[in-house]
Amino acid sequence: MSKPAASVNPDTNDADRVTVARLIDQARAAMREIARADQARIDELVTAVAWSVYKPENARRLAEQAVADTGIGNVEDKVIKNQRKTFGTLRDLLRARTVGVIDNDNGSGMIKYGKPVGVVAAITPSTNPAATPVNKSMMALKGANAIVIAPSPAGWSTTHATVELMRAALEKVGAPPDLVQVLPQPVSRNLTRELMQQADLIVATGSQNNVRAAYSSGTPAIGVGAGNVPVIIDGNADLADAAKKIEMSKTFDNATSCSSENSLVILDEIYEDAMRALRDVGAYRCSEEERELIREQLWVDGQLNRKLIAKDADVFAAGVGLGDGARDARFFLVEEDFDPESKFADEKLSLVLTVYRARDFDHAVELVRDILNVQGRGHSCGIHTRNFDHPTRLAEELDVVRVLVNQAHTFGNGGSFNNALNFTLSMGCGTWGGNSISENLNYRHFINITHLVTSVAEDKPSEEELFGKHFERYGKD
């Protein structure tokens, strides 16, 4: 397949156009080689690519390289991420049909055929320079597509190593390695934009600048929204369980995940008890003076300070200048009244949690909505509670795609073995977050569907069946 000619990007030079065109041509040639592959063969390719990164020594090497390259996160958690996300995604993919006949409901007279979307341009972030590329590659291959990855410049070395592993795995099972490629160094904004113009589909994860560029490229695009997760600790929550899950989630990979908690909304009736439970799992309760130190240091000229984001707790505490008691903490609690102008209401990409005291549950819902309106609308929120009317209310009233109940948010939001969400590292946020999808990115976004339609017995109701209730209430005039 080939893409209709697109307008030329005036900001891209001829060398960039030639570089991208070569990658696209190689990708299309590789797709032609697997064009007749059946589902078993496609699944073989997906499994081979998954194993290349899941393999313990490779998962660790890529984790070590990612931290060395970017200075973001920590090795042990990135090993878990490389393996857990890959394993869970493979589970999901092997249960789905994506090529040939994918649905044959004889009762409807319709047969559905899955077909490739084409060459996928995958924009990937520095926070996950190995896990996100393999995740998107598996999904793209599941639809018999090829993929070209545009990594963050900071993560290029790790992503290149990941791609080399995937390419070797494809060769091992007799498949063309050019099904998976990566932009060469130096990865520039213009080179990435040229890739977006020449590809058939863009899947953008990372900065909102990249997402907006994808949507404005003229190429069909899927982007994901920004996180800024608020979580309620309800008045009847199991406080020890809630605190442990929050600690596990917030500290995982030093809060690099967009699903990491950024704010806690605690009901007044259990506020101090909840703070003690959080302290018991390693939280450090900052004084007002320490809060102001964090405010001064975590943001520089309005932007997050790269010397402090996603750092180990002791490094963060020393960098900010917190007291000795903070050096042994797991994460940090900053208390304040809600102010939409405060940086603490925004995403922090660090081991800092803003804590708000809610008068009652109505006030808690209001606070969550206010926080999401600062940033994160559409993404997700969570609640720890024994009252299951309360999460239902959140789902009914708030503009979010996901509401997690009694879960460690980072581990549950991108798919889990004990919930029904698809495993992914890319969370769609619906139109609330400026996205075209309102679910976790999954294999369905990487296939086109042909519908073979035959005649069936007529299904035409009478006018009375369709309009009867309207006529009874309003008449026919």
Query: What is the residue type of 369?
Result: R
Burial bucket for residue 455 (CB in 10 Å: 0-12, 13-18, 19+): exposed
Distance CA 310, CA 253 (A): 7
Contact 403, 391 (CB under 8 A): yes
Please say whether the beta carbons of 262 and 230 come within 8 A.
yes
Q: Exposed, middle or buried by CB within 10 Å (0-12, 13-18, 19+), for 276?
A: middle
Tokens at 86, concatenated? 């890959």
Going by their DSSP bridges, the two strands 201-204 and 221-223 should be labelled as parallel
Cα 445 to Cα 91, 105, 114, 204, 205: the distances in Å are 17, 21, 11, 13, 14
Q: How far apart are CA 391 and CA 419, in angstroms?
A: 15
- Spatial distance between the Cα atoms of 140 and 117, rounded to a whole number of angstroms: 9
Let me know: does 121 contact 94? Beta carbons within 8 Å: no
Q: Which residues contact 121 (CB under 8 A, 6 or more apart)?
A: 147, 148, 150, 195, 196, 198, 199, 201, 202, 203, 219
Our answer to whether residue 258 is catalytic in this structure is yes
Give dist(CA 186, CA 188) in Å, integer.
6
Amino acid, single-letter form, for residue 273: D
Select which of 258, 286, 381, 429 is catalytic. 258
Q: Which residues are catalytic?
A: 258
